[in-house]
Structure 1
Amino acid sequence: MKHFAYVILLLMASSCISNKRITYLQNLPENEAIDLDEFIPYAEVDYRYILQPFDIVDIDFASSDPELTEAFSFQGARNMRGGMMGAGAGGDLFYFTGYSIDERGLIELPKLGKVHIAGLTEEQAKGKVQQAINAYFKDDVFVKLRTAGIRFTTIGEFGRSGTQVILRNRATIFDALAAAGESNILAKRNKLFIIRQYDGGTKIHQINLHDRALLASPFYFIQPNDILYLEPMRIRQLGNADNLSSSLQLFATLLASGLLIFGLIRGKL
């Protein structure tokens, strides 16, 4: 019985999670006050997203002459966009109303035909579409082109796994964590893997959410189509973050009951 108690106590002690394993942005010297005014410059990286095949872009046309832009508008898509926006559908509506880039990097526009925009930034793609429409019409038609938000996928020890959409032009890794319900206490925050799509292939990058040097990292900002994976700690074998405390309480209750029964039996002997 004594050995059993030792095993249970050892298990409970090993189940305690250090605060350092769940705190973001550490790396502060001991006994040093945090400088809240410290300036951390962004990494010298071009964060402009390069459009890739299978991306979806939203393109709007505007002109002082409504008849000019009517030729470039899908009536059903326009009605769907208004209805889905009102219903709060978020970035998924662009799947139905936007223009998908095919495997050759082309989009097909009414009247203009196919335009190659893969490998370009949003601004460059907008200029190319604008150039194509200027050659078609003598009158001015204004073009607005944007990606369908920042769509990324979270798997592993997140509060909510699956595909997430942030309707912004730029988002940090912490925006992504917030959108996914943040990571739970059983996640290895020092091992967040970013699976990022590049022209012709994929790379896996590892970042440390404990390290405040992340703020100056080239991976501080996420990109469309990123996949974020958080590994679980070994303690995950006892259950998830929601039932871990319940499991420890159960172990403690069983231990106390066992000791009580053992004491009663021993007292009668």
Structure 2
Amino acid sequence: MIRIKIKTQYFIRVFLLLLFFTSCVSKKNIVYFQNDEIDQSKVSNSYKTIIKPDDLLQITITAQDAEAVKPFNLSAVTYSTTSNSAIGVAQQQNYLVDNNGEIDFPVIGELKVGGLSRDDVINLLKNKLEPDYIKNPNINIRIANYKISVIGDVRKPGSYTIPNERITIIEAIALAGDINISGQRNNIMVQREEEGKKVQYRVNLLSNKINISPVYYLQQNDVVYIEPNYAASQSASYNQNTGLFISIGSILISLITILTR
């Protein structure tokens, strides 16, 4: 009886120790920017928005001659199918970039904008408009459907619209409520479309090298995926029967402890 009691107490202590250590998360696995010194001269704050297929461009042209710009600032309205009258307030016409990277712009016709930066598109339009159509045009371009997605082991996964078209991977994770304690911070995947192909990057938020990563600044439609760690993956695979067996085991250990006192 004494031998059984000793073995039971030993088993309980080992079980509690294992439970304690498996529930602890090492500080080195959760603290951001703790490793690797970087050359600050390589850290850049510059960022260019690259136009891609499926972007919805809002292009506004202004000039001293208000009449001259009217044909290039079309309004979009919705018409009733019964009365054939306009519904709601007219809004600025947006231009969808097709799979070939082109838009159909008023008067000028088709323009190849895919793969160009915002500044490149502005210069392209200025060359097309001046001086034949408009003198000294001012052109503003924004992407009306600029968004990024954060999925995986974060508090608020989802897609987020970015009105200023500039966001870092750190800011994106902050929008999603930060990574859960069970999420892997050293192997984050960013999926991006480049030249019609899906490209994947891996980044480590525990390292300062994230600041010089090509995906530090996200682009429209980027997807950030945070993978759960091994313990979280294993726990997710447990079914209801596993939980039941654990409960039964706990009850049996308690009964054995009481009976062997």
Q: TM-score range by the shorter chain?
A: 0.7 to 0.9
Shift in Å, 1:46: 7.5
Is the 1:15–1:235 Cα contact (8 Å) retained in structure 2? no
Partner residue, 1:124: 120
| Residue identity opposite 1:224 in structure 2 | Q
Residue in structure 2 matched with residue 244 of structure 1 by the alignment: none
Q: What residue is the counterpart of 2:40 in the other structure? A: 40
Unaligned runs of 5+ in 2: 1-7, 79-87, 237-242
| Paired AA for residue 235 in structure 2 | L
State the AA in 2 paired with 1:116: K
Paired residue secondary structure (1:190)? coil
- What is the CA distance between 1:186 and its match in structure 2? 0.8
Correspondence for 2:259 among 241, 257, 265: 265
Aligned match of 1:219: 215
Q: CA deviation at 1:74?
A: 1.0
Q: Is the 8 A contact 2:105 2:111 kept in 1?
A: yes
Q: Deviations over 1:130-174 (max 9, x none)?
A: 222335524444221133474222221122222222222432211
Please report the TM-score for the alignment, with normalisation by the length of structure 1: 0.73
Partner of residue 102, structure 1: 98
Gaps of 5+ in 1: 30-37, 83-96, 240-246
| 1:203 is aligned to 2:211 | no
Greater per-residue helix proportion: 1
Letter in 2 for 1:188: Q
* 1:12-71 deviation digits (Å, cap 9, x = unpaired): 421211111111000279xxxxxxxx9823457984233222222221122334433333
Could you tell me how far apart the structure 1 residues matched to 2:26 and 2:174 are? 22
Residues 170 and 135 of structure 1: CA distance in aligned 2, closer, same or farther (over 3 Å): same
2:61/2:137 contact within 8 Å kept:
yes
Deviations, residues 205-251 of structure 1 (Å, cap 9, x unaligned): 11110001222333322222221111101121336xxxxxxx9xxx8
For 1:61, the equivalent position in structure 2 comes to: 61
Q: Does 1:238 align with 2:235?
A: yes
Distance 1:260 1:141, change over 3 A: same
- Runs ≥4 residues deviating over 6 A: none
CA RMSD after TM alignment: 3.4
Paired amino acid for 1:14: T
Deviates further, 203-212 or 60-69 = 60-69
Aligned partners of 2:115 and 2:17: how far apart in 1?
Answer: 58
1:40/1:148 Cα in 2 relative to 1: closer, same or farther (>3 Å)? farther
For 1:191 and 1:219, the matched residues in 2 are separated by 13
Give aligned pairs, total: 234
Counterpart pick for 2:27 among 10, 19, 41: 19
Contact kept, 8 Å, 2:58 with 2:144, in 1: the verdict is: yes
Report the residue type matching 1:16 in the other structure.
C
Alpha carbons 2:58, 2:141 under 8 Å: kept: yes
C-alpha distance in structure 2 between counterparts of 1:3 and 1:193, whole Å: 43
Structure 1 residue 261, shift from structure 2 partner: 4.3
Letter in 2 for 1:221: Y
Length-normalised TM-score, structure 2: 0.75
Structure 1: which amino acid aligns with 2:68?
Answer: L
